[in-house]
């Protein structure tokens, strides 16, 4: 069961104090942990899941010294010039050479094949010249002992821990589990996330709508973000601005979901009924986050089920989910590490702001004249312009204390390729 969310009385949506993003993430980390059980799945079904067991290597990988290249295996003689060696055999991958290779001899060898006894060097085939009758080969000078040889256990040694509980199974983790012979792994069960939007102004895409209505984009973008995290989405659709309906929907969803997520309905407006419903069924804290876009944000519980209330503006909802919702979902799913991926790029724009609030600027990447990745800011900074998220490759993270970004400055960039999933 998720521990109660600590009170945030100093950080309400209408209070004087704005909570920093780092402080919000620290509080989430302190208050939330895994809420799902475990199950064993075939390795091919483990992609995107959170590992729930320790995986060890029962054998050395590679199990013996092997060739890293297609080429010629022989006994090195450092300092000698090019040498003519007598060909005494060949060893493809999956087989072995029965005899010991002596000085002055060479064996044709292929990538992954075990190193014959006596051999301590492999020359790449493109650097060698075979005589026309195939009886001898010329190898280049200057090759040291160990060249192009992968030693026994270079990747993993028998008994070593190669994967740990809490790791998300990406393609590389799946491959690593296969490399140590695992056909199944124990993972956390998928997090069940109930999702809905609120607002009488919303309509489902594909439906007819009056001019005063808008199509519900938020629920679909958030659902897509949740899909990328490997959770089970329970789509509750659009709820009307009716207190009883909102409260009943939340209460019912809390009985079959591990997390409740809403878009809209958590501000201080008279028609924002989600806040009151959550408070009546459990606890709710409204955070005024010191970020743009992205305030306000609600976190709480309906009964014992965690609740996350995102802003109603489409860009605010997406960005807030990336920065706060994603780490929350990963923690509830059992992931031990939930960092936001980031890298340094060159600024290709000028931007100024007042200090005190951290801003995340939508930007695309181009190549600078120096060949470095360069961020170009989207010209419209409105939190209602969803096209900016399509045009952008990620977000430039402008620190709270910063006032100016100038062309040529190095800035932190949060790439969408690492955030959506």
Beta strand residue intervals within 191-315, DSSP E: 192-198, 202-203, 214-215, 232-239, 259-263, 282-287, 291-292, 297-302, 305-310
Task: Identify whether residues 195 and 181 lie together within a single domain.
Answer: no
Task: Identify whether residues 133 and 166 lie together within a single domain.
Answer: no
Task: Identify whether residues 301 and 234 lie together within a single domain.
Answer: yes
- Rounded to two decimals, the pTM is 0.85
Give the relative orientation of helices 274-281 and 243-254 as an angle to the nearest 10 degrees.
50
202 within a domain of the structure (yes/no): yes
Domain that residue 183 falls in: 40-58+162-188
- Whole-number Å distance between alpha carbons of 304 and 32: 12
DSSP state, 245?
Answer: H
Task: Identify whether residues 285 and 403 lie together within a single domain.
Answer: no
- CB proximity list for 159: less than 8 A, separation 6 or greater: 56, 57, 58
Give the count of beta carbons closer than 10 Å to the beta carbon of residue 205. 10
* Domain end (from 309, 332, 355): 332
Task: Identify whether residues 360 and 290 lie together within a single domain.
Answer: no
Return per-residue pLDDT of the chain as tens, 421 residues: 444 444 333 333 334 478 899 999 999 999 999 999 999 999 999 999 999 999 999 999 999 999 999 999 999 987 777 999 999 999 999 999 999 999 999 999 999 999 999 999 999 999 999 999 999 999 999 899 999 999 999 999 999 999 999 999 999 999 999 999 999 999 999 999 999 998 888 889 998 888 889 999 999 999 999 999 999 999 999 988 888 999 999 999 999 999 999 988 776 554 568 888 999 999 988 788 999 998 788 999 999 999 999 998 999 999 999 999 999 999 999 999 888 899 999 999 999 999 999 999 999 999 999 999 999 999 998 988 999 999 999 999 999 999 999 999 999 999 999 898 7
Task: Identify whether residues 307 and 196 lie together within a single domain.
Answer: yes
Q: Left if phi > 0, otherwise alpha if psi is -120 to 50, otherwise beta: which for 408?
A: left
3-state secondary structure of 75: coil
């Amino acid at each position: 069961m998720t521990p109660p969310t600590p009170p945030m009385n100093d950080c309400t949506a209408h209070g004087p104090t704005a909570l920093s993003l780092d402080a919000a993430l620290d509080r989430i980390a302190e208050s939330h942990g895994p809420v799902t059980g475990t199950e064993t799945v075939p390795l091919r079904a483990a992609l995107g899941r959170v590992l729930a067991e320790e995986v060890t290597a029962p054998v050395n990988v590679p199990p013996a010294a092997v060739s890293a290249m297609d080429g010629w295996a022989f006994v090195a003689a450092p300092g000698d010039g090019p040498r003519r060696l007598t060909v005494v055999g060949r060893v493809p991958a999956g087989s072995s050479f029965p005899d010991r290779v002596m000085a002055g001899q060479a064996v044709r060898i292929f990538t992954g094949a075990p190193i014959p006894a006596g051999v301590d060097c492999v020359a790449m085939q493109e650097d060698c010249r075979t005589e026309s009758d195939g009886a001898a080969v010329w190898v280049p000078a200057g090759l040291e002992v160990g060249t192009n040889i992968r030693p026994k256990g270079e990747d993993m040694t028998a008994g070593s821990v190669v994967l740990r509980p809490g790791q998300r199974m990406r393609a590389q983790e799946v491959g690593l589990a296969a490399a140590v012979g695992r056909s199944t792994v124990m993972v956390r069960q998928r997090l069940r996330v109930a999702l809905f939007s609120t607002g009488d102004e919303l309509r489902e895409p594909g439906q007819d709508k009056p001019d005063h209505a808008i199509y519900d984009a938020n629920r679909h973008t958030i659902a897509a973000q949740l899909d990328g995290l490997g959770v089970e989405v329970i789509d509750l659709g659009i709820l009307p601005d009716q207190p009883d309906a909102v409260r009943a929907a939340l209460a019912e969803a809390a009985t079959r979901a591990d997390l409740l997520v809403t878009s809209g309905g958590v501000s201080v407006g008279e028609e924002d009924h989600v806040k009151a419903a959550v408070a009546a069924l459990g606890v709710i804290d409204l955070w005024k986050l010191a970020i743009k876009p992205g305030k306000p944000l609600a976190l709480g519980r309906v009964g014992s089920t965690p609740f996350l209330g995102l802003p109603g503006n489409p860009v605010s909802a997406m960005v807030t989910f990336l920065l706060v919702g994603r780490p929350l979902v990963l923690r509830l799913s059992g992931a031990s590490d939930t960092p936001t991926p980031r890298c340094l790029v060159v600024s290709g724009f000028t931007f100024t702001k007042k200090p005190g609030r951290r801003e995340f600027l939508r930007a695309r990447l181009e190549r600078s004249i120096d060949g470095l990745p360069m961020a170009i800011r989207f010209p419209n900074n409105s939190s209602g312009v969803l096209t900016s998220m399509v045009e952008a490759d990620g977000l430039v993270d402008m620190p709270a204390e910063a006032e100016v970004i100038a062309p040529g400055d190095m800035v932190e960039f949060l790439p969408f390729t690492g955030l959506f999933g």
